Structure 1
Amino acid sequence: MQKSTTSALLRKLSFLLIWSLLILNSCNDDTKPVPPKEENIYLKESSSIATLNKQQVLQKAGTLAAVVAQYVKHDIKVYKITYKTKNTDGSDITASGALILPVSTGPVSMISVQHGTISNPDEAPSLFRDGSEGSSFGSLFGSMGYIIAYPDYIGYGESKDLPHPYEHRASLASASLDMLRAAKEFLRGQTDVKWDEKLYIAGYSEGGFATMSLQRKIEEEASSEFNLRASSCGAGAYDKTAFMKHIINVKTDGVAGYNSLYLWVLLTYDRIYKLNKPASYYFTEKYAPQITASGKNASIPESFHLALNDSFKKALNDGTDKAFIDAIADNDVYDFKPKTPTQLYHGTDDPLVFFFNSENAYNAMQKRGATNVEFIKVNKGTHSSSILPFLLGTQAFFANTL
């Protein structure tokens, strides 16, 4: 009788043991449901453009090769990415840019480079054509050991059928920020390189203006998304109000190429802010018909202020054309207190984007109590001759803030 009772007890204990093991096994990590793949919000598509070794990177650097050879340390992989952003009217559009990855085993930082003015659509970074800024400078900084995000902006690359919002603060900032968000999503889905989450931003000329615009947007709206470590802005037109007052009242060099850029800004603001003035409102009879026909490609081979109607200049000087004045002021980007270590580079003899832009920005930042801004004046530097000091200074600045 005792044997029968013992056997029954053992059977019961065995059943309980098996049941317990089944329960424990069902809780084992190996059988946990796999979390769903995180969906991309900004990134749409990516495609490989090129793979370059260090020697090919130096070839793309052209005349800079001898100066920068010591910094070229990595092969690179180049991708085109397309992403969601907003046009100037708030509509949803697809934009693009180049994303350059160094071939590196260790974690690396990212630089968002905002390109300078381009008039040829073939120079868009995502096309990565030889001789373009994105191809030469992008390859160079990528080979130094940085992930490079190079937005095309609206109006180039995937959005080439739209007009480029030249020197428009808000859209340059949003297109660049959304490119960074898409780049983050791309990096999350690959294993070739590890991002250390550090972000640096840089740009020259229109790129300098775009970089300062991006810096403000990140600091004010997206500081929780990105660990922004430093910003290097070169020769940007940050004080649009002072710039416009200067070119409508003061004799300038009269270089047609420079004037086409001033004209481009004016026409862009007229369009974006829906001022809808005819060319004859702004310009004299000598130039209005040509501007109506050719837009920013019209040739003005004399001081820009001589091409403007006296009535328009008077309306700006006495404040009666409030709509245009407000459009200009909406693109002033300089008057804030940076939270991020910032460098301002500018040639003292810049005939295109006048030196006072960076000087006014630095003074305004100092007045607001900024202690992390350095102003580097390139003595006798022009708009073109100050690029190399800017590049070398930016490389050193970023390396020292790692």
Structure 2
Amino acid sequence: MKTRSILQIIAAVALLAVSACKKENIIPDPDPTPTAKTYTMSLTAVRSSLDTKALSDEGGTIKASWSAGDEVAVYNRTRNAALTGKLKAGGAGESATLSGEVTGIVSAGDVLDLSFQSRDFSGQDGTLAYIAAHCDYAAASVTVKGIDAGDKIAVQESGAVFNSQQAIVKLTLRESDGSPVSGGVSSLTVNAGGTDIAVSPAAAADVLYVAVPAVSSGSVSLRAVDPNGAPRSYVMKDATFAGGKYYEIEAPMDCVVSSDSELLAANKSGVPKVLLGADIRMTGKASVEVSGSLCIEMGGHSITAADGRIFFVGKETSLTLSGPGTLQDGRADQGGAIFNEGTLTLTDIRFSGNAADQGGAVYNEGTLNLSGTLVAADNTDGNGAPANLYLAGGTVITVTGPLGEETRIGISAAGSGIFTSGFSDFNASADPAAFFIPDDPEFTVTLESGEAKLVSSLSYEYTVTAEKTYANQQALLEETGYDLSAAKTILPTLFPKRNTPVRAISYTYKSVDPQGNPAELSALIYIPESALDGSKALTGISLTSHGTMASAAECPTMRVQFEGALAWRNYAIVMPDYYGFGATADRPQGYLDAENTAHNSIDAYLAAVQLLKDRNVEIPDRLYSFGYSQGGFNAMANLKYVTEHPELGIRFDKVMCGGSPFDVELTWNLYTDGTFRNSLAFVPMTLVSINETKQLNIPYDRLFKGDLLAHWQDWILSKQYTTTQISNLLSPDPEHPAAIADILHEGLIAGTGAAYDAVISVARSYSLVSGWTPPADTRILLFHSKEDETVPYANLASMTTYLESLGIHEGTAPGSYTIYEGNYGGHINAVVYFVLNTVSGW
């Protein structure tokens, strides 16, 4: 019998009589020269140990009893000889009568050793039943009192007390964090007293019973393997297992891996913590796709890739690497060592010799936590350029502790801006540039609001070509020549500081032509004098795109624009000349070329920012993209461009578009079917622009006919005439106005032929109602008069339908769109209402 904590040896011996023998029948003196004979023996046996064929765990207490037929061997210790034959238990219970015949030499006074089972601990299956049947080793000794005339041996003791010679241990296997070993183990090896004991359960289990030899203050080790092949180990130091005792032990098993197969198995098993026991080299393209939550203590070791990435951390999974340790030689398109979509936590980790087009060390799309000393400075892209840690999609590094003095992390991101969270919380007096080094030399790292910020270090070149100051808003408006008498009463309300001076600065800057070749373009910026002299900070900047122009004399650097009046809202108004105007007036214009025009406009904005910085103007955070007609189309194109080029780090708070031909193919179809008579000039302008700037080389007799075919170079390409003048040239007789079919080739009207196919393909590529997704942090304002006779109102529906298909809905918050529509008159008259509806919110 025993308690839960330890088996209590049954000490009391049952005082049962040996078979009755009369004193006179006892032979007092042994034969001086005994010979081998067959004897009978019968004695009472009591088990003071726990181990018999009938072992059971009752609430943690091991019950022991004899079973009928249990066999006991007899050994004559005095004569150092085994007796043949066995004694058998005559019944079952805590005590039993052992009887039988044995053959050998026995004399009075001899000490006989009685043993049950043999000392064999092999082949265990982790159950008490197996131990009872195969591993029960109990022993007792008795002294021969005498032998009667019938060769029956009598012993001096009243009975034989059998003592177990091994301990039984109930092992409850735990993970290192105390949780159950998920799925159990399929094999266990116990080394006790220098003996390896193999335990092979019939089914994987986390609770096993093991019979072990007695151990006194020794080391006992456990080595296990789970069904996936993940190893576990545990060492008990100064362990004592006494024979006949029962022990219950909870063993926190460490998962120590020394090969890639063991690491993969540990990940598959969901081991909460893995310890590296050696440097690991991955084989082939094997990669650890993290399953659940994986925590690895590197222990100073390395993991080396063979021909692929080392870790992939998917959504809803996490990987924690604690060093010191190194990940090296990983290869992938993104994330040479680690691609993270979930949660990645790194402490004291080094990345070396990894390569990927983005993020040679780490490509991050999820949560990234860093602390300690981290080094990722010699990882590269496919061309050998620095590519270390890449932050995609606006993700940031969460600094969760102090960074070590030797931390050096090459950093790049989808855009510029703040890229840490919690940096100064743990590194209060540190300069982030000491830890983070931009992979792209065109960027630098600075400290802003306690966080690390990636900023462009490029100095955008510009050359100022002219400057002019307008004493007040009225002076600028009078120079435009527009009749704004209808807005006379509202102007003081919209522009309360309209009597302060504003300066117009013309400049040239570097960009590209429609073929992508370097080109120098021109632009103009209107800015309050108060911002230039530092007396008042700017409220914002508006990248403002002008409407359709056909004459080179109409562009912003050649003629004052009414949009310049918006500077009196305390904004800097940046107005680029489109390609083909201003500094590039000698080249065909890129009419409705969304990609190239937006590229030029963004470069104009960046050059303007550099100009303002050079004049010590503080750059505001607020940035708008604004325009009407073709200008509204280009305002939306600007948003598309910065969305597709996040590396620029440009974000628009609002995009305001009025009367805009967003759907170029739709507009073409409505123009060529004759619905919009005011399109007479715009269609040939579009065709000349596409044919010349896209180098389609379509013969013009496949595009035009009549007078237009004869004069297209003078009327269109020369840019000598305004759109109104071109319309008059195309339709000189008011009594008999020309139709679109009178000037275009029949194939274009019918929508057939190679020329039509080439033109409509380009028109589709210009359209802004497919192939991109506006960002969620920008508000879009759309204005269109239902009475617009120049730009089809259907463009508004085409754009809103597209936005709705993307999950962008009408509203007033960022990530939504707002519609201003109504009967505001024709295309030209409606521009005043567009300005009034949008600028009031600046």
Code of the aligned partner of 1:152: D
2:755 aligned with 1:331, yes or no? no
Q: Does 1:376 align with 2:376?
A: no
Q: What residue number does 1:198 align with?
A: 622
The answer on whether the counterparts of 1:345 and 1:376 sit within 8 Å (CA) in structure 2 is: yes
**Conserved in 2, the CA contact under 8 Å of 1:42 and 1:181?**
no
2:683 corresponds to 1:262: yes
Contact 1:108 1:196 in 2 (8 A): yes
Whether 1:156 and 2:581 are equivalent positions in the alignment is yes
Q: Is the 2:707–2:730 contact (alpha carbons within 8 Å) kept by the matching residues of 1?
A: no
The answer to whether the Cα contact below 8 Å between 2:642 and 2:651 also exists between their aligned partners in 1 is no
Residue 840 (structure 2) aligns with: 396
Deviation for aligned residue 1:317: 5.5
**Cα deviation 1:69-98 (Å, max 9, x = unaligned):** 223314212211210010112221111111
Specify the alignment match of 2:462 in structure 1.
43
CA contact (8 A) 1:347 1:383 kept: yes
How much has 1:244 moved relative to structure 2?
1.4
1:244 pairs with 2:668? yes
* Structure with the greater alpha carbon radius of gyration: 2
Residue-pair matches, total: 350
Once the two structures are TM-superposed, the CA of residue 227 in structure 1 deviates from its matched residue by 3.1
Q: CA deviation at 1:122?
A: 2.5
SS state at 1:345 partner: strand
Q: Distance in 2 between matches of 1:78 and 1:283?
A: 41
Distance change (3 Å), C-alpha of 1:241 and 1:87: same
1:349/1:178 CA distance change after superposition, 3 Å: same
Deviation at 1:201, TM superposition (A): 1.0
Report percent identity of matched pairs: 20
Alignment of 1:320-359 (within 5 A): 321-335=756-770, 336-339=772-775, 340-359=778-797
Q: Which moved more, 1:345-354 or 1:288-297?
A: 288-297
Q: Residues 216-256 of structure 1, C-alpha deviation per residue, up to 9 Å, x if partnerless? A: 101221475223100001111111111112222x233545x
Distance 1:83 1:65, change over 3 A: farther
RMSD after superposition: 2.5
Which residue identity lines up with residue 347 of structure 1 in the other structure? S
- 1:308–1:224 CA distance, 2 compared to 1 (3 A): closer
In 2, are the aligned partners of 1:58 and 1:65 still within 8 Å (CA)? Answer: no
1:167 match: secondary structure: coil
For residues 90-127 of structure 1, the C-alpha deviation after alignment (integer angstroms, 9 at most, x for no partner) is: 22111111111122413421011100112332322123
For the residues of structure 1 that align with 2:492 and 2:512, how far apart are their CA atoms? 39
Which residue of 500, 516, 519 corresponds with 1:93? 519
Q: Measure the CA separation in 2 of the matches of 1:289 and 1:51.
A: 44
Distance in 2, Cα, partners of 1:109 & 1:329: 34
Q: Give me the whole-angstrom Cα distance separating, in 1, the residues matched to 2:493 and 2:762.
A: 45
Which residues in structure 2 correspond to 1:199-348 (within 5 Å)? 199-222=623-646, 224-248=648-672, 250-255=673-678, 258-285=679-706, 287-291=708-712, 294-295=715-716, 297=726, 299-300=730-731, 301-314=737-750, 316=751, 321-335=756-770, 336-339=772-775, 340-348=778-786
TM-score, length basis structure 1 = 0.79
3-state DSSP of counterpart to 2:766 = coil
Mapped to 1, the partners of 2:519 and 2:663 lie a distance apart of 29
Q: Give how far 1:47 is off.
A: 4.1
- Residue 557 (structure 2) aligns with: 126
2:494 pairs, out of 55, 59, 71, with: 71
Name the one with the larger helix percent. 1
In the TM superposition, what whole-angstrom CA distance separates every residue of 1:273-318 from its partner, at most 9, and x where no partner exists? 222222221234564334366446451442213433333333x368
* Distance (Å, rounded) in 1 between the aligned partners of 2:786 and 2:474: 35
TM-score normalised by length of structure 2: 0.39
Residues 462 and 507 in structure 2, CA contact (< 8 A), matched pair in contact too: yes
Q: Distance in 1 between matches of 2:590 and 2:698?
A: 17
How far 1:163 moved relative to its partner?
2.0
In structure 2, stretches of 5+ residues that fail to align are 1-456, 718-725, 732-736, 810-815
Q: Which runs of 5+ in 1 are unaligned?
A: 1-37
In the alignment, is residue 83 of structure 1 matched against residue 514 of structure 2?
Answer: no
Shift of the 359–317 alpha-carbon distance from structure 1 to 2, 3 Å rule, reads farther
* Larger strand percent: 2
Counterpart of 1:116 (choices 525, 547, 561) is 547
Q: Which amino acid aligns with 1:100?
A: Y
Give the C-alpha shift of residue 41 in structure 1: 2.9
Aligned-partner Cα distance in 1 for 2:519–2:781:
32
Task: Give the Cα–Cα distance (whole angstroms) in 2 for the partners of residues 287 and 334 of structure 1.
Answer: 31
Partner SS state of residue 181, structure 1 = helix
In structure 2, the CA distance between the partners of 1:52 and 1:324, relative to structure 1 (3 Å rule), is same
- Is 1:56 the counterpart of 2:512 in the alignment? no
Mapped contact 1:279–1:289 kept (Cα < 8 A): no
Distance in 2 of aligned mates of 1:174 and 1:321: 27
Contact kept, 8 Å, 2:670 with 2:792, in 1: the verdict is no
Deviates further, 351-360 or 328-337: 328-337
Question: Does the residue aligned with 1:227 lie in a helix, a strand or coil?
Answer: coil
Rounded Cα–Cα distance in structure 2 between residues aligned with 1:49 and 1:60? 12
Q: Which whole-Å CA distance do the structure 1 matches of 2:608 and 2:715 have between them? A: 37
Task: Name the structure 2 match of 1:18.
Answer: none
- Do the aligned residues in 2 keep the contact of 1:166 with 1:268 (CA within 8 Å)? yes
Shift of 1:396: 2.4
User: Using the alignment, how far apart are the partners of 2:794 and 2:801 within structure 1?
Assistant: 10
Shift of 1:141: 0.8
Letter of the 2:768 partner, please give it.
Answer: V
- Counterpart AA for 1:362: T
SS in 2 for 1:228: coil
CA distance in 2, matches of 1:353, 1:200: 23
- 1:176-202 Cα deviation digits (max 9, x unpaired): 1110110111111112x4221221010
- What is the distance in 1 between the residues matched to 2:465 and 2:539? 20
d(CA) in 2 for partners of 1:318, 1:158: 36
* Deviation larger for 357-366 or 102-111: 102-111
**108 and 313 in structure 1: CA distance in 2 versus 1, 3 angstrom threshold:** same
Rounded to whole Å, the distance in 2 between the matches of 1:352 and 1:226 is: 32
Q: Which has the higher contact order (CA 8 A, sep 6+)?
A: 1
Give the distance between the partners of 1:282 and 1:291, measured in 2 at CA.
Answer: 10
CA–CA distance in structure 2, aligned partners of residues 46 and 197 of structure 1: 27
| TM superposition shift of 1:67 | 2.4
Partners of 1:344 and 1:376 within 8 A in 2: yes
- Distance in 2 separating the partners of 1:224 and 1:91: 20
